[in-house]
């Protein structure tokens, strides 16, 4: 039994026993990530049962670590007073994240009760998935004209818990000029000007997408990314732990979108909610499946005359779908990591068409032999082989084009790529197989 | 035109012009991540053309940042002397990563020429995807019995470039007891014992999978993860920038494995190589597609008697595949992030069977009406609807079971899940549709 399973069993036992006092004590004794793990795995009622008795301080610590679904359940159960108290105890960026999750109808009410409401209103205006949406306002900055001894004084004023890893150097207009480390400030000559010590740093603009920020941090091995406005004024700082969360979130999105989900789910969503969130995409899929069925319907005569065509329908369509999904997953990941650009399109198209031809040929030869021996018609073998080659080429072509076009029109390429692609490979595959059968064999 | 496109155009222009001197100067003037971006996007010959003229120091800086494929091409072109020179200039963990990529037949030869060959041989024994495989040996540790002033002296000896963010505190046996920050050492009373200042830290064992390490770092917001042996002795340290790379790599793996690739590719693999790496999985897919075809073959009489069945084959099989893939992508991601455990299996099974029934019913009702109006037979409408409900339930069931079983037997659940799942939904879907048609209508 793992540690997580052990604490889960203990909590379940205490809930069943109804021993709320011991439950509260036991839950409070756990580390924050373990508390978050437990709440994620409990039912809606149980989530509230363990969360509600906690003191404000414990609630405040726990809230930024909760999964989205548990947070939603807990926010619903908290009244505006308690929400604003918790928001007041949080760092301002975390308070903004919390308030952004509050239901529309009472968000203004909560913001009205919060201390730093102007700041929070300003930050709420940025999209939650932008650089400004994930930055913290807790950072230290000093004018570059100041000298090291001034900086040392400033540093000693900072409370111990808020140990800053970087101190940002600004010019007289508040524009970011670079950074120094506390270590450097403590070991440099006191009369030295800070601007002479400042080292260059990469910054991002407030409206940049969080995924792009994470890619920059990853490429340049940054532990903090300062956020500036269009004039270069320092607005806030994104820390690496928040960027790690962003990477996790973006990868989850890509995986689940590619898997045909319209909105992100955790495994522990209640069934009714999963049903509601999955159904729309299944209906869209149904439309495209019916389109493929329509193509089959147009060739009823072919199938009636030559039953073998019906047997190889799933092979031709399915293999095209598989080959196209291979291309698609490489493209979607390449776009997400910023490795693939529009300038690469021509080269990638030719490459994937080439690979499509090669795999289509390799799969086609084997399948056409099987079709020949199964149905006793060499001509039908050729038809099946040709249909496979054509469908693999279409798969390569559209495996590149679909994600690039979606990206171009501003849709996450992971989002609907699979649906469009399998529509193409189903429809085109059936057309190729049944059309060629009709043209060559009838 | 983005900055990356601009530098790419400039480099392409210089290569075409054959102006190798300006090319070298221009390339050297770029930042390391931009150099890595360029090399990733150039053809094999061009990669070598820009890399080869660089000095050892530039090569050394660039090598840890290269993508796997470019690294392979470049290693092939380097002789053992140059490889060992570069390895000597790298940090020992990076040297190990480099040497692990060297072709088997001359790896020993390269290791033999390298300075820290004992250390490197020891580290090569750990899997590249384990905690020990990604740790660095560059860290600072001090005995907890020492006092602050000793630590201050030690700190001042460290070269400026190697600024340590954590200093690890050990007991007399070299076991990890906690950490202190340089800031704390500089601001605490000189006679204070370090063990009194030490703060607790999470550590991992040497053989833990890198994905699990990244999850721990993410959950606990760690910037460094110390690696210990089974007795608690400190072996090395994993830094956050390496963990960020691990997260990126693991997400790429999950996305591409789910997309039906057997080995990880970048978009810029040459076509021949992509062909070779994709074909085996396509052949496995072909086997499963033929299995589905075999099921259809068993029901030739049904199709001949009732052509509508052929038309709705792709709908029933495809919708089951879609519903199952939704479940699958949630499960695979949940397992990768450590959110889903074996203890959850019963609950998740019931949930997904329930969702499968609900979505199957919702999709089935619409489709059965369409089938009824299209083919004029209310009975056939009922058959199609029933087949869809049954296939959606199977999809939910196997969408949960397949990744859990793969995980249990030690296979990455992302790896082959899709193939197994679509085999189930194809075979079961055809069986349900054609079998029900036979049973009810003939």
pLDDT value of position A127 = 84
Which of the listed residues A94, A125, A156 is the one where a domain comes to its end?
A: A125
B367 is a domain residue: yes
Residues B168 and B110 in one domain: no
Please check whether residue A244 lies inside any domain of the structure.
Answer: no
In the stretch 61-80 of chain A, residues with CB closer than 8 A to chain B read none
8 Å CB contact of B339 and A219: no
User: Count of CB atoms within 10 A of residue B87's CB?
Assistant: 26
Closest in B163, B348, B354 to A267, CB measured: B348
Residues A408 and A294 both lie in one domain: yes
**Residue B299 resides in a domain:** yes
Q: How far apart are CA B283 and CA A363, in angstroms?
A: 7
Residue B3 or residue A75, greater confidence: A75
Using the Cβ of A157 and the Cβ atoms of chain B, whether some distance falls under 8 Å is answered with no
CATH at residue B29: 1.25.60.10
Residue A191 has which token pair? 């009369």
A373 touches chain B (CB under 8 A): no
| Distances in whole angstroms, Cα of residue A352 to Cα of each of A331, A364, B37, B272, B424 | 10, 17, 21, 10, 29
Which residues have CB under 8 Å from B292's CB, separation 6+? A314, A315, A318, B317, B423, B426, B427, B430
Q: Evaluate whether residue A376 is within a structural domain.
A: yes
Q: Which domain holds residue B64?
A: 3-125
Tell me, what's the pLDDT at B122? Answer: 85
What span, in angstroms and rounded, lies between the C-alpha atoms of B198 and B218? 22
For chain B, which residues score pLDDT lower than 70?
A: 1, 159-162
Does residue A55 sit in the same domain as residue A190? no
Q: What is the pLDDT of residues A332-374, one digit of tens each?
A: 999 998 888 888 889 999 999 999 999 999 999 999 999 999 9
Interchain proximity A314–B426, CB inside 8 Å: yes
Closest-CA residue of B relative to A288 is B315
Portion 381-420 of B in contact with A at CB < 8 A: 418
- Cβ separation of A252 and B322 shorter than 8 Å? no
Same domain membership, residue A29 and residue A72: yes
The answer to whether the CB atoms of A282 and B363 lie below 8 A apart is: yes
Enumerate the β-bridge partners of residue B169: B142, B178
pLDDT confidence tier of residue A152, bands split at 50, 70 and 90:
confident
Contacts of A374 (CB under 8 A, 6+ apart): A308, A311, B297
CB contact under 8 A, B267 and A331: yes
Q: How confident is the model over A383-412, as pLDDT tens digits?
A: 999 999 999 999 999 999 999 999 999 888
d(CA B356, CA B362) in angstroms, rounded, equals: 10
Query: Tokens 């030559």, residue?
Result: A306
Least confident of A128-137, A182-191, B293-302: A182-191
pLDDT at A74 over 90: yes
Q: B111 to chain A, minimum CA–CA distance in Å? A: 28
B213 and B333 in a single domain? The answer is: no
With tokens 């591409």, the residue in question is B256
Render pLDDT for B326-361 as a digit per residue (tens, 0 to 9). 999 999 999 998 888 888 889 999 999 999 999 999
Kindly report, residue by residue over A240-263, the tens digit of the pLDDT.
888 988 998 899 999 999 998 888
**How many CB contacts within 8 angstroms connect chain A with chain B?**
307
Residue B260, domain member (yes or no): no
| Closest alpha carbon to A337 in A202, A203, A217, A420 | A217
Q: How far is A35 from chain B (nearest CA, A)?
A: 11
Q: What's the confidence (pLDDT) of residue A6?
A: 87
Query: How many angstroms separate the CA of residue B325 from the nearest CA in chain A?
Result: 5
Residues of chain A with C-beta less than 8 angstroms from the C-beta of B429: none
Could you give the maximum distance between any two Cα atoms of chain A, in Å?
Answer: 95
Instruction: Examine the fold and report which residue of A93, A125, A157 is the final residue of a domain before the chain moves on.
Output: A125
Is A373 inside a domain boundary?
yes
Whether residue B206 is found in the same domain as residue B105: no
Kindly tell me if the per-residue pLDDT of A183 is higher than 80. no
Enumerate the residues of chain A whose CB falls inside 8 A of the CB of residue B67. Answer: 339
User: For the domain that residue A354 is a member of, what is the CATH number?
Assistant: 1.10.357.20
In whole angstroms, what is the distance from residue B419 CA to residue B407 CA?
Answer: 15
Contact residues, A window 17-56, toward B, CB-based 8 Å cutoff: 31, 33, 36-37, 40-41
pLDDT of residue B223: 85
Q: Is A206 on the interface with B (CB under 8 A)?
A: no
Angle at CA B365, nearest 5°, toward B360 and B367?
90
Report the residue from B300, B312, B344 with minimal CB separation from A307: B300
**Residue B132 is assigned to a structural domain of this protein:** no
CB contact residues (below 8 A), chain A span 259-278, against chain B:
259-261, 265-268, 270-272, 274-275, 278
Regarding whether B87 and B230 lie in a shared domain, the answer is no
Question: pLDDT digits over A41-61, tens only?
Answer: 898 999 999 999 999 899 999
CB atoms inside a 10 Å sphere around CB A98: 24
The answer to whether residues A429 and A295 belong to one domain is yes
Instruction: State the DSSP H helix or E strand holding residue A432, giving kind and residue range, or none if neither.
Output: helix A413-441
What is the least distance, in Å, from the CA of B297 to any CA of chain A?
6
Same domain flag for A96 and A235: no
Using the Cβ of B212 and the Cβ atoms of chain A, whether some distance falls under 8 Å is answered with no
What separation in angstroms does the CA of B129 have from each of B134, B209, B228, B236, B247?
7, 6, 16, 15, 12
Question: Where a domain ends, among A125, A155, A188?
Answer: A125
Same domain, A234 and A377: no
| B64 and B157 assigned to the same domain | no
Location of structure tokens 């909590």: A11
Instruction: Report the CATH number at residue B150.
Output: 3.10.580.10
Does a structural domain hold residue A10?
A: yes
Residues 6+ apart with CB under 8 A from B343: A5, A8
B54 shares its domain with B161: no
Query: CB distance A333–B243 less than 8 Å?
Result: no
Of B5, B165, B333, the CB nearest to A343: B5
**Contact assignment for B296 to A314 by CB distance below 8 Å:** yes
CB interface of B with A, residues 94-153, below 8 Å: none
The count of domains in chain B is: 3
């Amino acid at each position: 039994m793992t540690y997580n399973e052990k604490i889960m069993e203990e909590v379940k036992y205490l809930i069943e026993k109804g021993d709320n006092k011991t439950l509260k004590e036991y839950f409070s004794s756990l580390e924050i990530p373990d508390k978050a793990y437990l709440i994620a795995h409990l039912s809606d009622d149980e989530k509230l049962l363990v969360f509600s008795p906690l003191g404000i301080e414990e609630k405040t610590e726990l809230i930024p670590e909760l999964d989205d679904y548990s947070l939603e359940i807990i926010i619903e159960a908290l009244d505006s007073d308690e929400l604003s108290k918790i928001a007041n105890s949080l760092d301002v960026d975390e308070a903004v994240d919390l308030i952004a999750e509050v239901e529309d109808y009472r968000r203004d009410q909560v913001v009205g009760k919060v201390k730093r409401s102007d700041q929070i209103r300003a930050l709420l205006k940025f999209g939650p998935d932008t650089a400004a949406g994930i930055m913290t306002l807790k950072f230290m900055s000093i004018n570059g004209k100041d000298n090291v001894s001034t900086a040392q004084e400033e540093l000693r004023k900072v409370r111990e818990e808020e140990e800053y890893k970087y101190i940002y150097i600004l010019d007289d207009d508040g524009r970011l000029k670079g950074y120094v480390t506390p270590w450097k400030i403590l070991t440099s000559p006191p009369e030295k000007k800070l601007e002479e010590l400042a080292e260059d740093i990469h910054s991002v603009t407030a409206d940049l997408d969080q995924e792009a920020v994470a890619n920059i941090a990853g490429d340049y091995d940054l532990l903090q990314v300062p956020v500036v406005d269009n004039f270069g004024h320092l607005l806030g700082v994104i820390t690496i732990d928040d960027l790690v969360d962003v990477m996790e979130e973006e990868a989850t999105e890509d995986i689940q979108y590619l898997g045909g989900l319209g909105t992100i789910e955790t495994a522990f969503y209640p069934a009714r909610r999963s049903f509601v969130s999955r159904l729309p995409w299944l209906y869209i899929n149904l439309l495209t499946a019916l389109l493929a069925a329509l193509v089959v319907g147009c060739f009823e005569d072919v199938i009636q005359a030559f039953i073998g065509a019906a047997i190889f329908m799933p092979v031709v369509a399915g293999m095209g779908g598989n080959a196209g999904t291979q291309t698609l997953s490489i493209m979607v990941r390449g776009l997400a990591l910023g490795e693939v650009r529009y300038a690469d399109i021509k080269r990638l198209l030719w490459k994937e068409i080439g690979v499509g031809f090669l795999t289509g040929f390799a799969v086609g030869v084997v399948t056409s032999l099987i079709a020949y021996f199964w149905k006793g018609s060499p001509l039908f073998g050729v038809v099946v082989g040709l249909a496979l080659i054509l469908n693999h080429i279409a798969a390569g072509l559209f495996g590149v084009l679909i994600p690039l076009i979606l990206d171009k029109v501003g849709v996450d390429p992971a989002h609907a790529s699979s649906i469009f692609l399998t529509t193409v490979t189903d429809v085109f595959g059936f057309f190729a197989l049944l059309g060629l059968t009709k043209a060559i064999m009838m």
